[in-house]
Structure 1
Amino acid sequence: MPSNIYPMLINGQSGLTDATVDVVDPSTGWSIGQVPEANSETIEQSLEAAQQGFRVWSATPPVQRKELILRYADLLEENSERIVVLLRAETGKPQDNAEYDFGMLTTCLRFFVEEFERLDQAVLHDPDGRFLHYTLRQPLGVAVGMLAWNFPLLNVGYKIGPALAAGCSVIIKPSSLTPLASLEAAHLAKEAGIPDGVINMITSSDHKVTKALLQSDIPAMVTMIGSTRGGLEVMNASCTSVKHFSVELGGNAPVVVYPDADIRDAANKVVDLKFANCGQVCVSPNRCFVHESVYDEFVEYAKTRAESVEMGPLISDDARQYVLGLVESAVAEGAELVSGGKPVEGDGYFMEPTILKNVATGMKVAHDEIFGPVLPIIKYTDADNEIALANDTEYGLAAYVFTSNLATGLRAARDIEAGSVCINEPHYSVQLPHGGLKQSGVGKDCSRYSLEEYLTLKRVSVLIDH
């Protein structure tokens, strides 16, 4: 692919600056293009554009917004082949994973524009019968979105889907590691008829520059997908004025496999999710607790399943070295390699799918987010409190339980501290709320609960009986 500069989108116009950032294909290690390095002037332009875009978009009747959003989704699909090629080049994703990533963008656009029409605006009880009380839902304002690189277009969809449906304007900063497909998608908004300034997308690798986005009093909402450390920095920088936050941060998802579970099925499903996207998934299984009576059986099934896994690369060599370091540290402390554990020779940042057994909870691989293709399997006994083991982390994004006993599954779902708990099969969908507890964030992506975060809740009281 020839080297090109992919411009930013500010107020419906292509934006360039004097400096650029290289974008690298992680499957080869070669540069595939450049994006502009935003500066203070472009940051200010994007804020002014989004402020004006909000005035226009929030005043646009919902039926017209719906028509334009659906046209935008159709236009994206007409250009899907070109966008998916870019997405695969900047992420190294296999074709099916890239198509899912792209598909979630258009799915979110269509879901939220329909969900907006189903929101209630309640009439409230008046004990004296003198007033009519009702609620109004109105667009919140300008939303700034700071996004991660692992699912670039899905992440864009999670943010612009509810924002556009609610009548908000956005400034999106995709990761500087994977901005290309997102920029291509953003530029199509103008062709679809979305007013200038409603969708703005900037690119930067310099947090000091983009900090001005957060410190401005123009945004009403700051939303993010990323690490807990990054989330704390973003929230801290934003507290120059009162803003709403919706941030999906780090995870350390436990799996609890009870002895009465279908062990082969549990192992297959855990392995499939663990090694999806090379383990670079916020809800990826990170600590797999398996009862001692079925431990060896589970390990063997997991090993067999992992042998058929096809993965793309990690996002960078630094990421690969970090994950390999976790494996090396665990083995040095007594964990045993069941499979994998080494980098793949040749170009790119590939690594073998790796399974570790005899992992102890005190090992770094068991208490730090891995974000790579390593499955630590930890043995527990009847003397252990498996729920306490699952909860022994500062994170609380996702959890998984495998059991054939309904009461056991329901108790685990009640007691595990996570934003989502899946029993017997991992499952995610746009209509289901997604978000974390504890240090995994605040707010929700997906579902009507996400849409509500981009809307105010105003109470109106009308005197009807003097």
Structure 2
Amino acid sequence: VARHVDIDRCIRNFRFFADLGRHSTAQTFAMDDAMNHVVRKPVGVVGLISPWNLPLYLLTWKVAPALLMGNAIVAKPSEITPLTAHRFCALAQEAGLPDGLLNVLHGLGPEVGQPIVEHPRIAAISFTGGTATGRIVAATAAPMFKKLSLELGGKNATVVLEDADLDTIVPGVVRAGFLNSGQICLCGSRILVHRALYDAFLPRFVEAVDAFGIGPVISSAHRDKVEGYLKLAVEEGGTVLTGGQRGPGDGFHLSPAVVANLPPDSRCATEEIFGPVVTLHPFDTEEEALAIANGTEYGLAGSVWTNDAERGRRFAERMETGMVWVNTWLHRDLRVPFGGVKHSGVGREGGEWSLGFFSEAVNICVANRP
């Protein structure tokens, strides 16, 4: 993932926003007796706080548009993964970026992140991370009237309708659940399968999961957290069909786990685990599937799998989430809005939405005659 996703996407982020900047045109709105000119001005100094799971990808997703719109940056990468940001900053300096435009500070959240959020000269905060920390960021920034973009946690639903072709969709559902060991905010950790397909889906899915290679989780503490949720799943009545075992070698390995027979409103089925664990839930009707899919405090992403793309699109529109894929997952067009609803975030970034966040739109109305 580091080689094929994190680094590649870092490059794509800069190329995309550079191209967007070259092709952006000024907005004007004509009236009978005047012309309105929309001018975008830099916010000033912006604070960027990014997580450990895709450290270069998610940092540059913020840096590129912030620089494009003329801002200076104070960035704090995760203390768990500081080296990619440090190296990136050095490369930016080698490339000729003027001193003082990109400033990277390392350290713990309370000691470094919180001072960034509360500093009076930092006018905007873009934060990607957990919902609990997002609440602290919001509570600090909102009374100071800072611009705020929060991309927070998710408990995303993968919905398999009864007309889906299992031979086609199972690999995609597995990838959605376990890429990067489930440590991507967009991963589909709740898999809802129509009861007509459930018995056929189960063995195929488990077999595919067992064959899906994943790396370790980020730390010993995180592995302990994931194992704690697996223990809780059994206590809540769930059955671990496969996985959850520690593996050999360096790193904090945990085999991908599949849990069945959990109530949809159980803690393991509604709380973000952020690891290689998915829960399976049968449903009988679309209404029941929607109730389960929408039945958490989160609303970041989701996917729908069906042989009828139009049906999938209609179902997706009824999901309470910021992003939905139909018959695919993590298929990203950088022009579209990225962000969640409910406790999964505030605001949108991506394409023109990023340019809007990292600038202040000023309207100048000029009368046709003095």
Structure 1 length-normalised TM: 0.76
CA distance in 2, matches of 1:209, 1:275: 32
The whole-number CA distance in structure 2 between the counterparts of 1:447 and 1:385 is 35
- In structure 2, the residue matched to 1:223 is 126
Question: Which residue matches 1:187?
Answer: 90
- Tell me, yes or no, if structure 1 residue 211 matches structure 2 residue 110: no
Give the AA of the match of 1:113.
A
- Contact 1:215–1:240 under 8 Å retained in 2: no
Match of 2:237 in 1: 334
Taking a change above 3 Å as real, the CA distance of residues 265 and 216 of structure 1, as seen in their structure-2 partners, is same
Give the drift of 1:378: 0.6
CA distance in 2, matches of 1:333, 1:247: 32
Please name the residue that 2:15 is paired with: 110
Q: 1:371 aligns with which of 271, 274, 286?
A: 274
Out of 268, 275, 283, the residue aligned to residue 171 of structure 2 is 268
Match for residue 440 of structure 1 among 326, 344, 366 = 344
* Deviation of the 1:382 alpha carbon: 3.3
> Among 78, 100, 110, which residue is 2:5 paired with?
100
- Is residue 361 of structure 2 the alignment partner of residue 457 of structure 1? yes
Alignment partner, residue 167 of structure 1: 70
Q: Which runs of 5+ in 2 are unaligned?
A: none
Where 2:17 maps in the other structure, the secondary structure is helix
| Aligned equivalent of 2:37 | 134
State how far apart, in whole Å, the 1-side matches of 2:153 and 2:107 are: 22
| Partner deviation per Cα, 1:232-275 (whole Å, 9 max, x = no partner) | 11121223522111111000101111110112322211111211
Residues 76 and 112 in structure 2, CA contact (< 8 A), matched pair in contact too: no
Shift of 1:320: 0.8
Offset at residue 209 of structure 1 (A): 4.3
State the AA in 2 paired with 1:414.
E
Q: String of CA shifts for 1:405-445, please: whole Å, max 9, x gaps.
A: 24421221211011111001112242332111111112223
Residues 402-417 of structure 1 aligned to structure 2 (within 5 Å): 402-417=305-320
Distance 1:274 1:236 in 2: 32
Instruction: Provide, for residues 30-78 of structure 1, a one-character-per-residue CA deviation record: whole Å limited to 9, x for no partner.
Output: xxxxxxxxxxxxxxxxxxxxxxxxxxxxxxxxxxxxxxxxxxxxxxxxx
Give yes or no for contact 2:49–2:113 (8 Å, CA) kept in 1: no
Give the C-alpha shift of residue 351 in structure 1: 0.2
The alignment's TM-score, normalised by the length of structure 2, stands at: 0.95
- Asked whether the equivalents of residues 300 and 322 of structure 2 are also in contact (C-alpha less than 8 Å), the reply is yes
Letter in structure 2 aligned against 1:175: S
Partner-residue secondary structure (3-state), 2:211: coil
The residue type equivalent to 1:382 in the other structure is T
List per-residue Cα deviations over 1:141-165 (Å, max 9, x = no partner).
Answer: 1110111000000011111011111
Q: For the residues of structure 2 that align with 1:218 and 1:138, how far apart are their CA atoms?
A: 16
Q: Distance in 2 between matches of 1:288 and 1:397?
A: 15
> In structure 1, how many angstroms separate the alpha carbons of the residues matched to 2:214 and 2:120?
43
Q: CA deviation at 1:345?
A: 4.4
User: Where does residue 228 of structure 2 map in the other structure?
Assistant: 325
Quick one: distance in 2 between partners of 1:382 and 1:239? 41
In percent, how many aligned pairs have the same letter? 32
For residues 272 and 109 of structure 2, the distance between their equivalents in structure 1, rounded to whole angstroms, comes to 24
Q: 8 Å contact 1:401–1:409 — kept in the other structure?
A: yes
Structure label with greater radius of gyration: 1
Does residue 252 (structure 1) correspond to residue 155 (structure 2)? The answer is yes
